[in-house]
Amino acid sequence: MSPEAAESEQAPVRRLQTDIREKPQRRTTKDEPALRPSTLSKLVVGIWEQIFSSMSFDISVVTSEWRTTGFQAHRTLITDMGDDNQPLTAVQVPPATAPERTFTRMNLLCRKISQASRCSRALEVVVQASWIEYFDRQVQDIAKENPQLSATKARMKALAQACSEIGWSEKEIRNKMAIWRGYKEIKDHGGWVCLVFAGMGIYRFCKYRIGFDPESMAILRRMRARFEVAADTLHPYWRDMLAIVGDTSTRIYSGHPHDWVVSDQDDPVPLKQTYLEYDPQFSFTHLDSSIVDPYAFGANDPRQVAVVAQQSAFTCSVCGEKQSEDVTESTCRCFPNLFGSDHLPMAPVQIFRTKNGRNNGLMACCPFERGVAIGEFTGLITKGLEGIDVMQAEAEQRYQIYQGREGNYTRFVNHSCRPNSQFQRFVWMGSQRIILVSRGIEAGQEITVDYSDAYWRNLPKTCLCQESCCRFKDRERGVQRIETATASPAS
């Protein structure tokens, strides 16, 4: 019997509860940031932001952009603006249509052009880092062929060749080389992934070289696999860009970004592998939204609440503004990254291996300002479960959200007696949702909530949050005894 099942036979239900306090109001955090507040931190956050953005890092976008550079006349514009599967092609401007349609076309054009220019920028940096390698090799070859030349002279000779072939002055090339050498160093430690997703931040980091030291390079070396997990799973074709410098590396990590558990010391491991020891049948399906258990509620969704609704529009009970699935209609800005125009394909978080026996946890890759939603607590909407972890909730009727077999990354949030986030109830268009809301989280910090006294009362374990204010580190004897007997892992 798995420890989880053994636990369920003995233990009463452990309920996660939403926080009754108000949504945390925004203010700056005083917590110690996990990454130093230097330019390296900015570079790293910039890389995460691009990896988790909705930008497409697909070489076909760039090649189509090159096709558009041959504009003939000012009346030439770009077609296929409304179709992501079509390459950009330069043709005559089509006749003007209705203003809304024109604005939509311009929005789509803007998106395509930004994607194309980010891909071009990524290619540029990749080529420039690679150029340094070729330059160094050329200097060596010249020195070998001309043993009478000093190292400086061999360098000067290679530089002169570059000036004449590229068509830039020596000063220009020297200035650029200093920055390009920085790109190469970053690539040598953090991998190509850093260059492809760094955006403009990498130029500033290499130009001003603040915090550009062995310690920073060691941080990048440790983060490389984490970047690659996210990049490979969210942008499966990003490595195609490397073909431009003859690199043929292929995708290493497939599946869902949260099918991988990352760590600073070890290679990423499949999520399933981290639970097999406790539950050989472990499986987890990643959900974008909750599923209502038909055996528990039939066709009814127990999250429905009586709200003021006019046709398809709802009034937010928090801000009093209009809620609508149409982002141009909706004026509720309570959680725009979940229910609005700021919606991202994936929250910038990763599942990581904790170092002190709590199995896995959830890590913030980017900062989450106080009051911002990290994600919705999704899972199976059901009732009547006993002895296992469930979120207890109540709208017009009581229900539970069970994340044992399906759900999202909120399932991996550990408890802390000094948490940096909390669960909050929120009604979106007449349906109650449980939202994980930040109290101010820095990039690189573990995301934690307070599971509540009621949860810990029934958990036969000692709290490992390591906070000085920890309420459950010295559990009474009975609890400690159960812990030894079941040796239960994370549920």
Ligand X SMILES: C[S@@+](CC[C@H](N)C(=O)[O-])C[C@H]1O[C@@H](n2cnc3c(N)ncnc32)[C@H](O)[C@@H]1O
Nearer to ligand X, 58 or 450 (CB): 450
Is residue 2 close enough to count as binding ligand X by CB under 6 A? Answer: no
Nearer to ligand X, 414 or 421 (CB): 414
Please give the structure tokens belonging to residue 246: 């003859």
Please give the Cα distance from 485 to 476 (Å, whole number): 15
Of 118, 239, 415, 433, the residue at the interface with ligand X (CB under 6 A) is 415
CA-angle at 350, arms to 334 and 16, nearest 5°: 60
Q: 408 or 414, CB closer to ligand X? A: 414
At position 110, the amino acid (one-letter code) is C
CB of 491 to ligand X, least distance (A): 4
**Binder among 58, 232, 389, 442 for ligand X (CB under 6 A):** 389
Per CB under 6 A, the segment of 19-27, 304-312, 407-415, 435-443 that binds ligand X is 407-415
The span from the CA of 7 to the CA of 13, in Å, is 10
Question: Binding to ligand X (CB under 6 A): which residues in 324-383?
Answer: 358-361
State in angstroms the smallest separation of the CB of 412 from ligand X: 5
Cβ 403 vs Cβ 411: under 8 Å: yes
Longest dimension (CA), the chain: 89
Is 422 a residue that touches ligand X (CB under 6 A)? no
Calpha distance 452→438 (Å, rounded): 17
Binding mask 103-142 for ligand X (x = CB under 6 A): ----------------------------------------
Is residue 490 a contact residue for ligand X (CB under 6 A)?
yes
Q: Round to whole Å and give the CA distance between 417 and 466.
A: 9
To the nearest whole angstrom, how small is the minimum distance from the Cβ of residue 34 to ligand X?
18
Among 77, 113, 159, 464, binds ligand X (CB under 6 A): 464
463 binds ligand X (CB under 6 A): yes
Among 57, 412, 426, 428, binds ligand X (CB under 6 A): 412
CA dist 203 and 214 (Å) reads: 18
Please list every residue from 204 through 243 that binds ligand X, using CB under 6 A. none
Tell me the C-alpha distance between 453 and 461, whole Å: 13
Which alpha helices (DSSP H) does 17-148 contain, by range? 39-51, 59-68, 99-145
Element (H, E) at 307: none
Q: Which stretch binds ligand X (CB under 6 A): 87-95, 193-201, 265-273, 458-466?
A: 458-466
Residue with tokens 């609508």: 324
Instruction: Give the 3-state secondary structure of residue 163.
Output: helix
Q: For ligand X, which is the closer residue by CB, 191 or 379?
A: 379
Does residue 449 interact with ligand X by CB under 6 A? no
Q: Write out the two tokens for 194.
A: 């850093």
Does 465 contact ligand X by CB under 6 A? Answer: yes
* 278 vs 297 by CB, closer to ligand X: 278
Among residues 406, 470, 418, which one has the least CA distance to residue 446?
A: 418
- By CB under 6 A, which span of 210-218, 289-297, 428-436, 463-471 interacts with ligand X? 463-471
Q: What is the DSSP letter of 50?
A: H
Report which residue type is found at 221.
R
Nearer to ligand X, 194 or 390 (CB): 390
Q: How far apart are the first and last CA of the chain?
A: 14
Determine, following the binding rule CB under 6 A, whether residue 390 of this chain makes contact with ligand X: no
Name 169's bridge partners.
none
* Interface ranges with ligand X (CB under 6 A): 358-361, 389, 411-412, 414-415, 459, 461, 463-465, 490-491
